[in-house]
Chains A and B, each alone.
Chain A
Amino acid sequence: MQSRLLRKLPQGPPMVKRDMTLQQALNQALHQMMAENDSVVCIGEDIAVSGGVFGVTGGLAERFGNARVIDTPISETAFVGMAVGAAMTGLKPMVELMFCDFAGVCFDQILNQAAKARFLSNNRLELPLIIRTTMGAGDGSGAMHSQSLHGLFACIPGLTVVCPSTPADAAGLLKASFASADPVVFMENKQLYTTTGPVGEDLPVVPLGKAALVRAGGDVTVVAASAMVQQALKAASALESGGVSVAVIDPRTIKPLDIDTIITSVEKTGRLLVVDEGAAYGGFADAVIAQVTQGAFEFLRSKPGKLTPPDTPVPYAVLAEQAWLPGAKDIEKAVLNMMDQNNDNT
């Protein structure tokens, strides 16, 4: 295969970068991880013969065989549980859960089994398990194939939760997840699979728990995850022409959260807006606001803001779904509104 040949070439600076889609970046990372470690097995519905409903596991079965790339029955509890047991006994399983909405049918294996194994064994068991799953509304998939449940997973002690927004981050964070000895829920936004971006030739690792300042700015800090990063960047460009300088931070890892990078920016801007496709109540946006308020209250010049969908399931009709999702225009409005506030109590 091409990637195997490329790895054999002498490596040296400058790093060659190629444009590829997020789906291709993930696929190449999986090929690389399976080639490097015989203990890696991939488990899921329609991942072997068809290469995954989003094409992420394409070519793996042909290259590594059906003993390591396993098509399962539609039995999420059984195959996620099997992956948990396999991770406890020496394998490095990557399980694909087609949509994060399906976590509902196998939640016990995630919530009670995967997440608690290290704790209950008092560090004697490692659980090197990756659950790759999808999230994100915007493609008319309806209420049970469109949710963004990263906040739900993040509130369970023992789970690492990753939400990449670029092809390079997707590949690099997936490789970091393979290096983890603990369970990682790796959430791919369906709307981002075709996003194109430059990726280093050997797919450089991106560390877990490290946010990216994707755009520097001095007036407002916008924290946005997954597909909301693109919306935030679009809004930031538009606002710049109006003289408002917006910093955009992509946490990349939802948990553990790189709160230091966020607080450093807020100390400069004094304003925080969190844009998230997750829960309107008790979700990731609320968690970020709580931590910033507790950690940098004296720097805040306006009340922290959040933009999330309303507290309803994802609607199906095109216009309803568009209205439900936060977008660049909503972000512009929220930022300008925030700029009008000045808390001079400090």
Chain B
Amino acid sequence: MSKTALHHYQRCCFIRAFESAIATQAAAGNVPGLVHLSTGSEVADVVLASHLDSRLDQVTGSHRSHGIALACGAEPLEVAKEILGKEGGLSDGLGGTQHLIAPEAGFLTSNGIVGAQVPMAAGAALSAKTRADGGIGVAVFGDGAANQGAVLETMNLAVVLKLPMLFVMYNNGMAQTTAAATATGGSLIARSESFGLEAYTTDSADYADCIRVFGKAVQTARRGTAACVDVAVTRDHGHYFGDGDADDFQASTAMKSLEKYILNQSISLDSLTAAKNRAQEDAVAVVAQAAAGAADG
């Protein structure tokens, strides 16, 4: 468990540093449009992906999907080039930051329309069910999307069609600039329960619980019972990078808590720091490599 945790931590550090390097590129004007960084959800990204099988499962994500795409195993250089709008990106720069497509890594697509990715994951679930190969469809969306009809309709559809599907709600309490308190009536996880989904709640700042809950939810979906996980995450760099939030890229709350967990597992601070440094160097190098050369080149 401790070795796994350290490995997960290193993956989180990679995503965090990758996003930091992308932010630097954005600040330098090297990203065609706005970027929505996934800083704050690293632990959720990595833990969720650790329970999936990229040969069988397909994940669809929101506009904020750099982290989950990388966690699933999308090629980092291709992801970086895609975000920078370059040839050699996943789609040679035609899609961009909000349209990351890496089905070979089990990441079917991210999406520019809030909530639209959710019914598409039901389609991946239907394909898996039809093939009877044990795969699942996973929809990752934010609490802001949970007020979209597409999400609520799909929860109902997944239950009545008995789809092997997992709904994963990254609950950061914000819908763009509107707080959940003013945007959402009732409880989001209670909604999913009322549709008949197996509902779970966890916090990405509690790594052990997160591992346990995602493991259970993925198993449930694999058995053909649609499930939903409400996972608390933070949103560390605003709706999009540069819209006024702090620019600390050191670690998310969840990552700091994962550090403590690892140090309690008889792993030395040196090992932890080494893992972090290695991940950061790798991420910085890959984004620099993507950025090298002429724009669009």
Contacts and interface: CB of A to CB of B under 8 A. Distances in A.
A5 to B, nearest CB: 27
A274 B192 CA distance: 51
Contacts, number: 125
B172 interface: no
Interface in A61-108: 67-68, 70, 72-73, 75, 77-91, 93, 108
A82 B101 contact: no
Given A72-B157, A73-B156, A75-B154, 11 more contacts: A68-B130, A78-B119, A81-B154, A82-B120, A85-B120, A85-B122, A85-B124, A89-B108, A91-B123, A112-B116, A125-B109
A16 B161 CA distance: 42
Interface string A107-139: 011001100010111101100000000000000
B169 to A, nearest CB: 17
Contacts of B109: 88, 117, 120-121, 125
Interface stretch (B10-18, B92-100, B204-212, B276-284): B92-100
Contacts of A90: 127, 131
Main secondary structure of the interface of B (DSSP, over half): helix
Interface of B: 58, 60, 90-92, 94-95, 99, 101, 103, 108-109, 111-113, 116, 118-131, 137, 149-150, 153-154, 156-157, 160-161
B130 A82 contact: no
Given A77-B153, A113-B116, A88 B91 contact: no
Contacts of B149: 77
A73 B157 contact: yes
Given A78-B154, A124-B101, A85 B123 contact: yes
A86 B159 CA distance: 17
Contact of A85 (B92, B108, B112, B130): B108
A93 B123 CA distance: 10
Contact of B126 (A85, A117, A122): A85
Contacts of B128: 89
Contacts of A117: 109
Contacts of B90: 122
Contacts of B120: 81-82, 84-85, 88, 113
A341 to B, nearest CB: 47
Interface of A: 39, 41, 67-68, 70, 72-73, 75, 77-91, 93, 108-109, 112-113, 117, 119-122, 124-125
A175 B217 CA distance: 41
Contacts of A67: 129-130
A68 B126 CA distance: 10
A285 to B, nearest CB: 31
A87 B91 contact: no
Contacts of B157: 72-73, 75, 78-79, 82
B124 A86 contact: yes
